[in-house]
Structure formats: structure tokens, C-alpha cells
Amino acid sequence: MKQNGKSVYSGIAIGPCRVFGNKDQMVKRIKIEDAQGEIKRFLQAKEQAKSQLAALYDKALNEVGQAHAMIFDVHQMMLDDLDYVESVTNMITAQKINAEFAVATTGDNFAEMFAAMDDDYMRERAADVKDISNRVIRILQGNDTAGELGDQPVILLADDLAPSETVQLDKSKVLSFVTRRGSTNSHTAILARTMNIPALIGIDFSEEADGRMAIVDGQSGVFILDPTEEELSYYRKLQEKERDQARLLQELKGKENVTKGGKKIQLYANIGGVGDVAAVMANDAGGIGLFRSEFLYLETQDYPTEEQQFKAYRTVAENMAGKKVIIRTLDIGADKQVDYFGLEHEENPAMGYRAIRICLDRREVFRTQLRAIYRASYYGNIAIMFPMIISVDEVRQAKELCHQVQQELQQEGIPYQQVELGVMIETPAAVMISDLLAKEVDFFSVGTNDLTQYTLAIDRQNPKLDSIYDAHHPAILRMLQMVIDNGHKEGCWIGICGELGADTTLTDTFLQMGIDELSVSPSMILKVREQIRNSSATA
């Protein structure tokens, strides 16, 4: 049986299926006599759950970075929430019921409450409260084996996967992720890309698939249950070809990013936090072309201090040992909401109060970040990039703040280095005035995700529009050429840090157009290097 889904990460997996339970625990209501004893059982299970979550935080920190590990800190805090704890204990006392049923009911009630809220961040907490409740119930039932997969590597099938479930998994036993729901930006998708394994979403499987053989084609988004011998033979050959290509790619480590025609290009990596630097180095990137600094804000319960930010930026700069690290200043808003910012609900947040607009409005927040970046610049090769620019005036205001921060640090005797300043080209306005912007900065980095969205008037979060969302659209390529030409006239170097930069079908085109730098996810570095070295573009 063959189904088409949406590919999250390419590659081929062949093996038995394991239907993984992201299910609510089956809980019976049982009358009890000793309410205090039952409350004690609940509190002990809660503490055991917190210990597990603390261990999961450490595990996630090593495997997927701090930004994605912080969810387990949030879960620990939710377990200690007074309203949550009192709801469970009051239910046990008043109704004389077992702890499992009280936890399950409380979890359902709180999840419904969160789901009904008119706030995206709070609605997302509905899944979290169900997750922590299921964890406590498993402990109470003595059935705490959520992350066990058995001895044989499997294709993991799930309705969706909670962060706590994906991190508990024995990664050596996972051949592929296949889910009914989820998005290309989900935790599962991020983990699949980090693990370099194929993954699909939008596949409607039944529980009866458990134990049956399947094929996942992450390249074309195909899932085949009970494949024929002919299909198995065909995909095994493709799989072996993939392995050969992966071995060949490893030979490209340490090689230059230079075309057959002698054109050199910088090949950098995109990261979300300190934990991603290991992948950058393992894949031999020449630097970091996009450090998404907003993850430092997303993973805290309050504004990160200057010291917290300085430590993160300094650590990355030192680890990169003189290689360039381009830090994008705070790009919050739109699909990246932070509760403590107190941002009002917007009908169209993608075009609303976000990124540089917030920074120039809340200058103390911006100044704190700039101070941390300039202090860290003393310890490496840092550059600063401003997002969501639509005018020369915005750039000049940002530059003036940078100048003020440098003066402050000088007066305080705090060392810093001069840094390159650049802007993200991700609006049609920035493209059309790129000749003027180029006079103000040292470099441009084209954010093709938003540029495509704004140019084509297509919400990239809307799955109904996937079929017409076309980053190869002639308008996008013409805009890119305009930006390159205008930037070069003023001595700016030009890079791409959006998803299009990793599109190897366009690598040669970018080189012919005159692009100077590509910044891609760490796992794509060697694939893009291969395309560069096979290009005939001339210097």
C-alpha cells in the first residue's frame, strides 16, 4: 500500500514499523479509603517525574541543543504549578478516588482550558500539560517504558511525537519518523534533520501497521506499507547508492569551496544556539552565517540578561576559533511569540510588530543585546545582522545604537572589536532600495523564506498554499540578481541564509549570479560543497 505525504527530511529507510503511543493512558476510576496515602503516592510520582525530566534536559542538551532542551524545564515547572497540584490533591480528598484518575482528569481539564485560550503560546501548553500528566500516570501504574523500542531498528509511526518522547528514544533504533500530524518546523522534524534520518508527515496509518515491513522515501514523500519484492529490491539499490554518496561526501571535509572555474565561495551554517556548534564543526562549515539569537529569548521565562547573552555569544565565538559568526539581532514576533514580551494579538503577525521594529521601539532590550554582542566580539570574529529591514532610516537608527554602545564600553574600559554590520534582505522594499542600503552596511544576507512569502503574497504557514509556494519563481531570482548587483557596486558581499541556499538544484545558478556566501543547515554543508566543486562558474 502506497501513500504520499510531506517530506520533512530526505533519505530512504527500509524496516519494520513500530506504532508508537502518543496516547492518553487508560485509567480506571477506583474508590479509595486512605486519601492521605493516595496523595503521598501522587507526590512521590510527581517528584520521580521531575527527576526524569531533569535527566531528559541533560540528554536533550547534548543531542539537540539548549533551545530544544528547555521544554523539559517548562515541564518541571508545570508539575510544580500550585493550581495543578491542588486540583489533583483536592480531587483525591473530596471524591476519595485513586491518584491516576485524579491526574488524568486534571490533565484533561487543564488541557481544555489552555486549548480554549486566545493566545498561541498558551494553546501550545495544552499538549504539554497532557504530556506531564501521562508521565505521572505511567509512573503511578508502574508502566514507565515510553522510550523503549525493542532490539531491532524500526520505522517509528506516531500520531505526533511530544518532545519528551522523542528525546527518550534510543536514536540508534530509529530508522525514520512517520507521523499523521505535525509540521516541517515541529520538534520531531528538527530532530530528524539533526539525526540525518528520513521523515514524513501527513501519513494516515492504522494500528495494524505495527510489525509490518515498510519503506520510507523521504525524497519524494512516499510511504509504502507491505512493499513487494520488486519495490524492496529497487529501494535497497537506491539506499546503497545513498550510502556510497554519503561516504564520498565525507571525503570533501577539509576541501575548498571552489568551482572548476576557480570561483571561491564562503559556505557557512545556520544555528539556533550554543548546542548546535558541534554539528557545525562536525560538518566542516567555514563559519556561522546565521545565529538565530531569538532562541536565547524563547528559552527563558524573562528577558535574558546581558551576562547570559554575552556568555552564549562568547562561547560560540571561541568555539569557532576565528571563523566568522554572524549574529542576527532579535527576530521575535510573527510565528515566534514570547509570553513575557506582552505582544498584542495581531490579525496578520507576519507583517506586524516584529524583529527590528520591536528593537527600535524597545531600545533598552536592543541595547542589552548589542552590548552583549560587542563584548563577545573581543573573543572571536563576530558580525551583526539586522532583520526585517524596509528603510535606510531603520539601518541608521540601528547603527547609531551600535555607536552609542561602543562609546559606553570604551568609557567602562570593556574591550571589544570592530564588527561588520549587515542587513537581512527579506522584504521587497529592501530589494528595491538595496542600492541605498548597500551604502550603509558591509554585507547583505538574503532571507529567502520571508522574501518568497512577501513577494508572492503567500502565507508560508498555510498548508493549502504549499502547491503554489515557489521559491524558484522568476520574481525571486530576479530580485536576488538585483540585490547582488547593487551590493557589489558598493563593495558589499552578498549571502543567502534562507532555505533556498541549501537547494542544490540552484547552487550553480547562484554562483553564476555572483553570490559570495551560502549559509545552510549543518547537515547540508557537504552536499552543497559537492555542488560548488562541480560547478563551472568562473571567478
* 5 three-state secondary structure: coil
Give the separation between CA 445 and CA 518, rounded to whole angstroms. Answer: 9
* DSSP letter string, 423-462: EEE-SHHHHHTHHHHTTT-SEEEE-HHHHHHHHHT--TT-
> 17, 187, 359, 492: which is the annotated catalytic residue?
187
Comparing CA positions, the residue from 341, 357, 324 lying closest to residue 445 is 324
Comparing CA positions, the residue from 196, 234, 191, 202 lying closest to residue 215 is 234
Q: Which CA distances in Å does 265 have to 247, 277, 336, 452?
A: 23, 21, 31, 24
> 359, 402, 492, 497: which is the annotated catalytic residue?
497
What b-and-e string marks burial along 402-427, b requiring 16 or more CB atoms within 10 Å of the CB? beebbeebeeeeeebeebbbbbbbbb
Q: Which residues pair with 155 in a beta bridge?
A: 17, 176
E strand or H helix that includes residue 463: none
Give the separation between CA 242 and CA 531, rounded to whole angstroms. Answer: 16
Q: Which CA distances in Å does 53 have to 58, 130, 158?
A: 9, 15, 21
Q: Is 345 a catalytic residue?
A: no
Q: Is 75 a catalytic residue?
A: no
3-state secondary structure 182-194: CCCCCHHHHHHHH
Judge contact between 316 and 269, C-beta under 8 A.
Answer: no
The residues assigned a catalytic role are 187, 497
